[in-house]
Amino acid sequence: MRVPMIAGNWKMNTTIGEAAELVNEMRQGLDAIDNVDKVICPPFVSLAAVRGLIEGSSIKLGAQNMYFEEKGAYTGEISPAMIADLCEFVIIGHSERRQYFNETGDIVNQKVQAALKVGLKPILCVGEKLDENEAGRTKEVVTEQLRSSLAGIDYLGGLIIAYEPVWAIGTGRAATGRQANDTIGLIRHNISELYDEKIAQDLHILYGGSVTADNATEFMQQPEIDGALVGGASLKAGQFLSIVRQTSEIR
Ligand code: PGA
Protein backbone atom coordinates (compact mmCIF):
# COMPACT_ATOMS: atom_id res chain seq x y z
CA MET A 1 0.00 0.00 0.00
CA ARG A 2 1.35 3.40 -0.98
CA VAL A 3 0.88 5.97 1.78
CA PRO A 4 -0.79 9.01 0.19
CA MET A 5 1.04 12.32 0.11
CA ILE A 6 -0.21 15.89 0.00
CA ALA A 7 2.48 18.44 -0.83
CA GLY A 8 1.96 22.20 -0.70
CA ASN A 9 3.90 24.29 -3.20
CA TRP A 10 3.82 27.83 -1.87
CA LYS A 11 5.57 29.19 -4.98
CA MET A 12 6.78 32.81 -4.67
CA ASN A 13 4.48 33.67 -1.78
CA THR A 14 5.00 34.53 1.89
CA THR A 15 7.67 36.53 3.66
CA ILE A 16 9.38 34.74 6.55
CA GLY A 17 6.82 36.20 8.95
CA GLU A 18 3.87 35.15 6.78
CA ALA A 19 5.36 31.67 6.33
CA ALA A 20 5.65 31.29 10.10
CA GLU A 21 2.06 32.42 10.55
CA LEU A 22 0.81 29.91 7.98
CA VAL A 23 2.77 27.06 9.56
CA ASN A 24 1.48 27.96 12.99
CA GLU A 25 -2.09 27.87 11.69
CA MET A 26 -1.78 24.38 10.24
CA ARG A 27 0.83 22.62 12.33
CA GLN A 28 -1.38 21.07 14.96
CA GLY A 29 -4.10 19.97 12.55
CA LEU A 30 -1.66 18.43 10.08
CA ASP A 31 0.37 16.72 12.77
CA ALA A 32 -2.76 14.98 14.08
CA ILE A 33 -3.26 13.12 10.76
CA ASP A 34 -0.92 10.18 10.60
CA ASN A 35 -1.97 8.13 7.57
CA VAL A 36 -0.98 10.81 5.03
CA ASP A 37 2.48 12.23 4.32
CA LYS A 38 2.31 16.01 4.61
CA VAL A 39 4.96 18.08 2.87
CA ILE A 40 5.23 21.86 2.68
CA CYS A 41 7.48 23.66 0.21
CA PRO A 42 8.00 27.31 1.21
CA PRO A 43 10.36 29.71 -0.59
CA PHE A 44 14.10 29.18 0.03
CA VAL A 45 14.46 32.08 2.45
CA SER A 46 11.83 30.65 4.80
CA LEU A 47 13.07 27.06 4.84
CA ALA A 48 15.25 27.37 7.92
CA ALA A 49 12.59 29.17 9.94
CA VAL A 50 9.86 26.74 8.88
CA ARG A 51 12.08 23.80 9.68
CA GLY A 52 12.41 25.09 13.23
CA LEU A 53 8.65 25.49 13.51
CA ILE A 54 7.80 21.97 12.34
CA GLU A 55 10.50 20.25 14.37
CA GLY A 56 9.06 17.39 16.41
CA SER A 57 5.95 17.21 14.17
CA SER A 58 5.21 14.76 11.35
CA ILE A 59 5.22 17.54 8.74
CA LYS A 60 8.00 17.26 6.16
CA LEU A 61 9.85 19.96 4.31
CA GLY A 62 10.62 20.45 0.63
CA ALA A 63 12.25 23.10 -1.55
CA GLN A 64 10.79 24.33 -4.84
CA ASN A 65 13.93 24.14 -6.95
CA MET A 66 17.71 23.75 -6.83
CA TYR A 67 20.70 23.97 -9.15
CA PHE A 68 22.49 20.81 -10.24
CA GLU A 69 26.11 21.88 -9.69
CA GLU A 70 27.70 20.96 -6.37
CA LYS A 71 29.15 24.39 -5.58
CA GLY A 72 31.01 27.33 -7.04
CA ALA A 73 30.58 30.54 -9.00
CA TYR A 74 26.86 30.34 -9.80
CA THR A 75 25.60 33.59 -8.33
CA GLY A 76 22.10 33.34 -6.95
CA GLU A 77 21.82 29.57 -7.16
CA ILE A 78 21.21 27.03 -4.38
CA SER A 79 23.04 23.68 -4.37
CA PRO A 80 21.71 20.18 -3.71
CA ALA A 81 23.73 19.92 -0.48
CA MET A 82 22.29 23.23 0.79
CA ILE A 83 18.78 21.89 0.24
CA ALA A 84 19.62 18.49 1.71
CA ASP A 85 20.77 20.25 4.88
CA LEU A 86 17.22 21.46 5.48
CA CYS A 87 14.81 19.37 3.43
CA GLU A 88 13.80 15.83 2.55
CA PHE A 89 12.14 16.77 -0.76
CA VAL A 90 12.77 19.08 -3.71
CA ILE A 91 10.36 19.94 -6.53
CA ILE A 92 12.09 19.59 -9.89
CA GLY A 93 10.95 20.54 -13.38
CA HIS A 94 7.82 22.41 -12.36
CA SER A 95 6.13 23.75 -15.51
CA GLU A 96 6.65 27.33 -14.28
CA ARG A 97 10.41 26.65 -14.25
CA ARG A 98 10.21 25.12 -17.72
CA GLN A 99 8.11 28.03 -19.01
CA TYR A 100 9.68 31.13 -17.39
CA PHE A 101 13.23 29.94 -16.75
CA ASN A 102 13.82 27.86 -19.85
CA GLU A 103 14.41 24.60 -18.03
CA THR A 104 14.86 21.94 -20.67
CA GLY A 105 14.52 18.19 -20.32
CA ASP A 106 18.29 17.97 -20.08
CA ILE A 107 18.46 20.46 -17.19
CA VAL A 108 15.65 18.66 -15.40
CA ASN A 109 17.51 15.38 -15.87
CA GLN A 110 20.71 16.84 -14.38
CA LYS A 111 18.75 18.22 -11.43
CA VAL A 112 17.07 14.88 -10.73
CA GLN A 113 20.46 13.15 -10.81
CA ALA A 114 22.04 15.76 -8.53
CA ALA A 115 19.16 15.57 -6.04
CA LEU A 116 19.30 11.77 -5.84
CA LYS A 117 23.08 11.92 -5.37
CA VAL A 118 22.71 13.84 -2.09
CA GLY A 119 19.78 11.69 -0.92
CA LEU A 120 17.02 14.21 -1.63
CA LYS A 121 13.64 12.92 -2.81
CA PRO A 122 12.82 14.75 -6.03
CA ILE A 123 9.20 15.56 -6.80
CA LEU A 124 9.54 15.44 -10.57
CA CYS A 125 6.81 17.37 -12.41
CA VAL A 126 5.57 16.45 -15.86
CA GLY A 127 2.52 17.59 -17.79
CA GLU A 128 1.25 18.67 -21.19
CA LYS A 129 0.25 22.17 -22.33
CA LEU A 130 -3.25 23.10 -23.45
CA ASP A 131 -2.53 22.91 -27.19
CA GLU A 132 -0.84 19.55 -26.74
CA ASN A 133 -3.83 18.31 -24.78
CA GLU A 134 -6.27 19.57 -27.41
CA ALA A 135 -4.24 17.94 -30.16
CA GLY A 136 -4.56 14.60 -28.35
CA ARG A 137 -0.81 14.52 -27.63
CA THR A 138 -0.95 14.12 -23.83
CA LYS A 139 0.43 10.58 -23.74
CA GLU A 140 3.22 11.34 -26.19
CA VAL A 141 4.31 14.54 -24.39
CA VAL A 142 4.19 13.07 -20.90
CA THR A 143 6.05 9.94 -21.99
CA GLU A 144 8.75 12.03 -23.66
CA GLN A 145 9.15 14.30 -20.60
CA LEU A 146 9.35 11.32 -18.32
CA ARG A 147 11.92 9.49 -20.39
CA SER A 148 14.14 12.54 -20.88
CA SER A 149 13.95 13.49 -17.19
CA LEU A 150 14.98 10.00 -16.14
CA ALA A 151 17.56 9.30 -18.89
CA GLY A 152 20.61 7.52 -17.51
CA ILE A 153 19.13 7.19 -14.03
CA ASP A 154 19.00 3.60 -12.87
CA TYR A 155 18.18 4.14 -9.22
CA LEU A 156 15.09 6.22 -8.39
CA GLY A 157 15.67 6.44 -4.63
CA GLY A 158 12.70 8.18 -3.06
CA LEU A 159 11.65 9.91 -6.28
CA ILE A 160 8.03 11.00 -6.58
CA ILE A 161 6.31 12.05 -9.78
CA ALA A 162 3.70 14.79 -10.02
CA TYR A 163 1.48 14.81 -13.09
CA GLU A 164 0.52 18.43 -13.57
CA PRO A 165 -1.27 19.34 -16.80
CA VAL A 166 -0.08 22.89 -17.50
CA TRP A 167 -3.58 24.04 -18.46
CA ALA A 168 -4.83 23.07 -15.00
CA ILE A 169 -2.20 24.92 -12.96
CA GLY A 170 -3.49 28.06 -11.29
CA THR A 171 -6.43 28.23 -13.68
CA GLY A 172 -9.22 26.82 -11.54
CA ARG A 173 -9.77 24.31 -14.35
CA ALA A 174 -8.67 21.00 -12.87
CA ALA A 175 -8.48 17.79 -14.85
CA THR A 176 -11.22 15.28 -14.03
CA GLY A 177 -10.34 12.47 -11.65
CA ARG A 178 -10.63 10.04 -14.53
CA GLN A 179 -8.34 12.03 -16.87
CA ALA A 180 -5.70 12.35 -14.17
CA ASN A 181 -6.03 8.68 -13.27
CA ASP A 182 -5.55 7.60 -16.89
CA THR A 183 -2.41 9.66 -17.42
CA ILE A 184 -0.97 8.59 -14.09
CA GLY A 185 -1.64 4.98 -15.07
CA LEU A 186 0.32 5.66 -18.25
CA ILE A 187 3.20 7.12 -16.22
CA ARG A 188 3.22 4.03 -14.02
CA HIS A 189 3.25 1.83 -17.10
CA ASN A 190 6.25 3.76 -18.46
CA ILE A 191 8.07 3.30 -15.18
CA SER A 192 7.45 -0.44 -15.27
CA GLU A 193 8.95 -0.53 -18.77
CA LEU A 194 11.94 1.66 -17.85
CA TYR A 195 12.57 -0.07 -14.49
CA ASP A 196 10.38 -2.91 -13.30
CA GLU A 197 6.88 -3.67 -12.10
CA LYS A 198 7.78 -3.57 -8.41
CA ILE A 199 9.37 -0.11 -8.71
CA ALA A 200 6.33 1.08 -10.67
CA GLN A 201 3.91 -0.26 -8.05
CA ASP A 202 5.85 1.31 -5.19
CA LEU A 203 6.24 4.71 -6.87
CA HIS A 204 4.17 7.62 -5.60
CA ILE A 205 2.52 9.58 -8.38
CA LEU A 206 0.62 12.74 -7.46
CA TYR A 207 -1.85 14.87 -9.39
CA GLY A 208 -1.42 18.65 -9.43
CA GLY A 209 -3.42 21.49 -10.99
CA SER A 210 -6.18 23.45 -9.27
CA VAL A 211 -6.68 20.92 -6.47
CA THR A 212 -8.90 22.45 -3.77
CA ALA A 213 -10.95 21.30 -0.81
CA ASP A 214 -13.90 21.06 -3.23
CA ASN A 215 -12.40 18.55 -5.65
CA ALA A 216 -9.76 16.73 -3.56
CA THR A 217 -11.98 13.71 -2.87
CA GLU A 218 -12.55 13.12 -6.58
CA PHE A 219 -8.80 12.74 -7.12
CA MET A 220 -8.07 10.75 -4.00
CA GLN A 221 -10.71 8.15 -4.88
CA GLN A 222 -8.81 7.20 -8.04
CA PRO A 223 -6.74 4.04 -7.71
CA GLU A 224 -3.64 5.32 -9.52
CA ILE A 225 -3.47 8.72 -7.76
CA ASP A 226 -1.33 8.72 -4.62
CA GLY A 227 -1.90 12.29 -3.53
CA ALA A 228 -1.67 15.86 -4.72
CA LEU A 229 0.75 18.70 -5.32
CA VAL A 230 -1.27 21.73 -4.27
CA GLY A 231 -0.42 25.32 -5.19
CA GLY A 232 -2.94 28.08 -4.44
CA ALA A 233 -4.96 26.08 -1.92
CA SER A 234 -1.84 25.28 0.10
CA LEU A 235 -1.59 28.96 1.07
CA LYS A 236 -4.84 28.75 3.03
CA ALA A 237 -4.45 26.71 6.19
CA GLY A 238 -8.11 25.63 6.25
CA GLN A 239 -8.11 24.50 2.61
CA PHE A 240 -4.84 22.59 2.91
CA LEU A 241 -5.95 20.89 6.10
CA SER A 242 -9.25 19.94 4.53
CA ILE A 243 -7.46 18.36 1.53
CA VAL A 244 -5.23 16.34 3.87
CA ARG A 245 -8.23 15.32 6.00
CA GLN A 246 -10.25 14.18 3.00
CA THR A 247 -7.28 12.14 1.81
CA SER A 248 -6.93 10.60 5.24
CA GLU A 249 -10.60 9.60 5.30
CA ILE A 250 -10.51 7.94 1.89
CA ARG A 251 -7.36 5.89 2.45
P1 PGA B 1 -2.33 25.14 -8.33
O2 PGA B 1 -0.76 24.83 -8.55
O3 PGA B 1 -2.82 24.18 -7.28
O4 PGA B 1 -2.37 26.57 -7.86
O5 PGA B 1 -3.01 24.94 -9.63
C6 PGA B 1 -0.30 23.51 -8.54
C7 PGA B 1 1.19 23.50 -8.80
O8 PGA B 1 1.66 24.32 -9.58
O9 PGA B 1 1.93 22.69 -8.23
Give, using CA atoms, the residue closest to atom 2 of ligand 1: 231
CA of 228 to the centre of ligand 1 (A): 9
Q: Which residues of 1-10 are buried (b: 16+ CB within 10 A; e: fewer)?
A: eeebbbbbbb
End-to-end CA gap in the chain: 10
205 phi, psi to nearest 5 deg: -125, 120
Q: Which residues line ligand 1 (CB under 6 A)?
A: 9, 164, 169-170, 208-211, 229-233
Contact predicate 251/35, CB 8 Å? yes
| Amino acid identity for residue 178 in this structure | R
CA of 95 to the centre of ligand 1 (A): 10
pLDDT of residue 208: 98
Residue 91: enclosing H or E segment and its boundaries?
strand 89-92
Of 132, 131, 133, 109, nearest to 122 by C-alpha is: 109
Of 178, 160, 165, 167, nearest to 215 by C-alpha is: 178
pLDDT of residue 2: 95
The answer, as to whether pTM is greater than 0.75, is yes
| Amino acid identity for residue 129 in this structure | K
Contact predicate 5/36, CB 8 Å? yes
pLDDT of residue 31: 98
pLDDT of residue 1: 83
Please, what are the averages of pLDDT over each run of 10 residues along the chain (251 residues)?
Answer: 96 98 98 98 98 98 98 98 98 97 97 98 97 96 97 96 96 95 98 97 98 97 98 98 97 76
Give yes or no: 164 in active site: yes
The CA distance from 131 to 124, in Å, is: 22
Give, using CA atoms, the residue closest to atom 1 of ligand 1: 231
Q: Which of 96, 103, 128, 164 is catalytic?
A: 164
